[in-house]
Chain A
Amino acid sequence: MQRAERGSEAGFDQSFLKKLEYLHIVAKKVFAGRLRAERRSRKTGAGIEFADHRDYTPGDDLRYLDWAVYGRMGRLLLRLFEEEEDLYIYILVDSSTSMRLGAGSGSLLSRSSDGRIAKLGYAAQVAAALAYVGLSNLDRVAVYEFAEALRGQLPAARGKGRIFKVFDFLSAMRPDGQTDLRTALTQFVHRTRRRGVAVVLSDFYDAAGYEEGLNLLRYHRFEPAVIQIIDPHEARPALRGDLELVDMETGERRQVTLTEAMCAAYARTHAEYCQTLESFCSSRGIGYLRADTDVPFEDLVLRMLREGGFVR
C-alpha cells in the first residue's frame, strides 16, 4: 500500500505502469550483460537464436553438434547461439539550481495551482518512467544525481521491485549547485565499468558547455541519450519593465529594462540554444528529446519517447 502511494506521488498509477511494461528502452549498440536476459549479447551460448558454427573441440557439449552438416560434409561443427543478456541503463538526472524553475510551494513532483511543475520534478518523473521500463525488461537500471559533480547514485540493479528504491532516490533529490556536465560525466565514466545506455536528463544550462561531457560518454562507449527539460516560461518569458535578473545558479545579477521585443529576442536565442544542442546530438548519433514541462507526462512517455526512438 505504501509503495503504491509512492508510485502515485511520482505520477504513476497502475494503468500507466502497465503501459510502461510494454515499452523497451532502445539500445542501438550491443552491450555485454551479466545475466541472461532479453538483450542480445555477443556471447554465444544458451540462447535460442542461431548465430554461427565452429569446429568441434574435445570437451564441447555434444548436444550442440550440428549432425546435419556432419552428414552432408563429414565435418564436426558445433552450433553457436546468441546468448541474451541484460542491458545497463544509466539515468543521470541534473539537480542543479536551475532545475528548480517552475516549482510551486508544494512538492517538487507535484504541479502547482497554475499547472506548472519544477523541471527537476518533471525530470524525476521521466527518469522514473525510464527506470520502470528498464526494470520491467530485466535490464539493470542505475540512477545518478548530478550538478557540479556526481552527488549520489542508486546502483545498478534489476527487477521491477527495484522501482520503489528508484522512487525514493528521485524523491530525495533537491535542486542545488551549478551544472558542470564535464566534471559530473567524467566522474560517471570513471566510476562505471559496465557500458550501457546513459540517459542524461538536464536543461543543459552549463556555462562551460555541454559538448565535452556528452563526448566523454561517447568516447567511453556509452550510448548517450539526451532529454532536455524545458519550462515554457523560460523559453518564452513574459517579463516587462525594470527588472533585476538573477542567475539561479551563479547568482549573477543584471539590471535590465525588458521590452516585448527583447523578450522575443530572448525566445529566439533560447530556441537557437536548444536547436544547437539538438544538432550536436543528431550529428553525433546521440538521441535527443526536448521535454517541455507543460506537456503531460504520460503524453511524453507513451508518445514522445517512442517517437524519439528512446523506447519501442
Chain B
Amino acid sequence: MTFLGLPVAQLWALMAAGGVALTTLYLLRQQRRRVEVPFAQLWNQVLRKSEATSLWRKLLRYLSLLIQLIVLGLLVASLGDPRLGRSEKGRTLVLLVDASASMQAVAPNGRTRLELAKSQAKELIHALGGDDLAVVVALDGQPAPMGGLSYDERQLLSQVDAVESRDTAADLPAALELARALLAGRSRPLVILFSDGGFDENTLKVTNVDRGVELRYQPLPAQASPAPNSGNAAITAFAVRRYRRNRLSYEVLVSLDWFPGQPRAGAAPQRVTLELLQEGEVVDVQALELQPGQQLERLYPNLSGAGRHLEARLRLEGGAVDTLPLDDHAFTVLPERRRQRVLIVTRSNLFLEGALLAAGAGEENHLAIDKVAPAAYDPGRADRYDVVIFDAFTPPAPPAAHAIYLDPQGPNSPFAIGSTIKSPLLTDLDAQHPVLRWVSLGDVNMSRGSVFQPRPGDRVLASMLKQPLIVAREEPTSSGLTRRSLAIGFDLRQSDLPLRVGFPVMLMNALDWFAGDVDDDLGSLRTGQMWRIPLQRAIKGRGAESGPSPTTATLILPDSSAVPVPVTEGHALHYGQRVGFYELTTGQAQAPRRFAANLGDLNESAAAIRRELRVGGAVVRPPEAGQRALRRVLWPYLLLAALLLLGLEWWSYHRRFTV
C-alpha cells in the first residue's frame, strides 16, 4: 500500500484527533427529550425486564460508535490517496516517447506522429498492471524523464501529455543510458520505445541494449503511413556570408532535398517553389524540380540589402502534401557589418601600412587606421581602439585591446622570449587556425627570429622544430571578456613575408579573428546541440570593459519567450531545441546578438517510418499486450464504503437498533 496524498503521519494525527473528538461527543450526555408519564411504576417494571438485554443494547451503542469510527477512518484514509502496493511480480518500465523533429510529421488523418505515439503510450499505460511501476521519458536531443517512477495511471498519463515535440534529432543512446540509470536495481526492467524509428543507421548499429535493460519497440500505427501523393521537401542547409572584399553584399547557399512518402523506383521529380525573404519581404522566388534522394544546392550570389534576417521557404507544387512542415522554413542572420579602429605604433613600415590599406580597400572600407610613433604611444589612448599593432615596439604593458606584436623585445614583451635563432625556417604551421587560413608560410625567409616561450593556453601557429615563432593567445580580461593577441617573432623588414601574397591575407585574417568575424559569424546554428554563443562582440567597446563580467544573459526564443541562459568565459550556453530567429541580450547597454537556428538534419528530414527496428544488429521485439488491471486508485471505493456505512448507521439509528 502506498499513500500519495497526505503523509502517513498527518493521517494518523487526523485519525487520532477525529477519533478523540468523536468518542468525546459520543460519551457526552445526550440532551434527552423529556416526556411526562402518569405512572412511572409501570415503566419501571418494563425497564427492569429489559435490563436483561441492556448489555446487548450497550454493545449496539458501541457498534454505532464503531461504525462512525470506521467511517472516520475511511475518510481519513481516502485523504491519503492510498494505492495498491507493489509486489514482486511488478515490472518497472521506462516509456520512451520519441519527441524528435520527425515526429512532427503529419499523418493523412491530420494527427502528428507524436500524437499517435502518445496515444499508443496511453493505451499501454491503461493496460499496465497494478504492480507495474513506470516513468515516461521524452526522447529528443536531451532525453529527460517527465516525472518520477509511479504506479499512478493518471500521473503517467499526465507525464505522456507533458511530452512536447522538439526541433531536434533524437539521442537514442543517451535515452537508453538514462533508462538504465532509472531501472538500476528495479525488478523486471523494461524499456518500451514509441517512435517512428527514424534514427541514424550508424547509431543504431553501434548502440548496445543488452546491458541491463530489455528494449521493446512499438512502431507507429498504420495510419501514420504517408499518403501516396505526400512526401517531405526539406531545406537541409541554409548559409549566408558577406564578401570579404565587399561587405555590403553577401551570398546565400540553400540545399534542398526531396523525400517521397512512398519511395519507389522511377519516382517522378517534385516541383517546388523556393522563396527567399529578407526581413519578411520576398527577395527571390525560384521554381525548382527536386529529384528523389538527390540534394539540390542553390547559390544566390551578390545579394544586398539592409536587413539581416533571411528566411527561405519551400512550397510543394502539383497538389503534393508536405508531411513535415518544420524543415520547409530555414533561417539565417547576416553577419553584422562592423568597423574596426586600428592603431599602428610604428616608426614607419610601408609594408605594414600597405597591407592594411589593401585589407581595408574595397567598396566599403571597414578599417579606420591611425598611426603613432612609439614615442607618442599613450596606453590610455590605445584602449579606445579595437586593435593595436606594435611594430618593433614593446609597450610597457599590454593594452586592453586586441594586439599584434611584431618582433617584440625585452622584458616587457607579453610573449616571453627564450632565445634567438638566425635564419629560421617555419617548419610547423597550424593551418587550422583562422589567422593562417589560406596562408602559406612554408618558405618564408627571415634573418633572425625570436623563440617564444608560450604560456599554457597559447597556440603556436608557426614554429621551427618545436621552437615557436608565431604564437596566438586568448586570455580573459578582468571583465570576463576575451582579449586576443598575436605575436610574430621576427621583424617584417628583415623578412620576405611582406612581399608575399599571404602577408595581407594573414593580416586580414588576424583582424577578422580579433573582430570575431571568424568564430562569431553564427549565421545559423543547428538545433540539437549545445550552443556556445560568444558575447564578445556585443560587449566590446563603449567602455564595457570596466563593467563586471555578466554571469547570465537573456535569450529570446523564436516564440518570443525569454529564458535566462548562463554565461561562462564570455559565451552564453544554451541547448538549441527550436528553429527560428534568436536574440541574445546581456542586460547591459549593448546591441543584442542575433542568430538563427535550423534543423539541418537529413535523417530527421527524411521522416522515415520503420516497422522493424534493429538496434545493435538485433531486431527489437514489440511489447506484449498487458493485462488490464484493477483500478489502482482506492479512494473512491473508500468513500463508497463510508457512504454505505453511513447509510447503515442512519438506518440502524432510525430503526432504533443502535440507540
Q: Which residues of A contact B32 (CB under 8 A)?
A: 242-244, 255
Give a binary string over A269-299; 1 marks a CB under 8 Å from any B CB, 0 the rest. 1100100000000000000000000000000
Q: Is B42 a contact partner of A270 (Cβ separation < 8 A)?
A: yes
Say whether A207 contacts B41, CB under 8 Å. Answer: yes
Min CB–CB distance B473 → chain A (angstroms): 98
Chain B's closest residue to A267 (CB) is: B46
Q: Quick one: which of B38, B42, B45, B49 contacts A249, CB cutoff 8 A? A: B38
Distance from A232 Cβ to chain B, minimum over Cβ atoms (Å): 12
A187 partner residues in chain B, CB cutoff 8 A: none
Per the bound structure, the CA–CA distance linking A232 and B346 in Å amounts to 134
Measured in the bound complex, the distance between the Cα atoms of B451 and A31 in whole Å is: 166
- A244 to B47 CA separation, bound complex (whole angstroms): 13
| Interchain residue pairs A-B with the least CB separation, the first 7 | A247-B40, A98-B38, A205-B39, A244-B32, A259-B656, A266-B46, A242-B32
CA of A88 to CA of B38, assembled, Å: 32
Q: Is residue A234 within 8 Å, beta carbon to beta carbon, of the partner chain?
A: yes
CA distance A86 to B50 in the complex (A): 54
B residues less than 8 Å from A237 (CB atoms): 37
Q: Which residues of B contact A231 (CB under 8 A)?
A: 38
Set of chain A residues within 8 Å of B50, measured between Cβ atoms: 262, 265
A28 contacts B by Cβ under 8 Å: no
Name the distance in Å between B496's Cβ and chain A's nearest Cβ.
Answer: 121
Q: Is the CB of A257 within 8 A of B57?
A: yes
The reply to whether B34 and A246 contact each other, CB–CB distance below 8 Å, is yes
Given contacts A240-B656, A242-B659, A266-B46, contact A250 B33 (CB under 8 A): no
Q: Which of A239, A250, A259 contacts B35 (CB 8 A)?
A: A239
A240-B656, A247-B37, A266-B43 are known contacts; what are 7 more A-B pairs with Cβ within 8 Å? A101-B38, A242-B32, A243-B33, A244-B35, A245-B40, A248-B36, A256-B47
CB distance from A254 to the nearest CB of B (A): 6
CA distance A250 to B49 in the complex (A): 22
B42 touches A273 (CB 8 A): yes
A241 at the interface (CB under 8 A from B): yes
Q: How many residues on chain A are close to B (CB under 8 Å)? A: 34
Complex Cα distance, B40 from A244, in Å, reads 11
Residue numbers of A with Cβ under 8 A of B are 98, 101, 203, 205, 207, 231, 234, 237, 239-250, 252, 254-260, 262, 265-266, 269-270, 273
Contacts of A270 in B (CB 8 A): 42
21 residue pairs of the A-B complex, CB under 8 angstroms, read: A98-B38, A101-B38, A205-B39, A205-B41, A231-B38, A234-B38, A237-B37, A240-B656, A242-B33, A243-B33, A243-B35, A245-B43, A247-B37, A247-B38, A247-B39, A247-B40, A248-B37, A256-B43, A257-B57, A262-B50, A269-B46
A231 to B32, alpha carbons, bound, how many Å?
24
Contacts of B38 in A (CB 8 A): 98, 101, 203, 205, 231, 234, 247-249
Chain A, Cβ-Cβ closest to B53: A261
- A245, B46: Cβ atoms under 8 Å? no
Contacts of A269 in B (CB 8 A): 42, 45-46
**B109: CB under 8 A from chain A?**
no
Report how far A246 CA is from B656 CA in the complex, Å: 21
**Is B44 close to A, CB under 8 A?**
yes
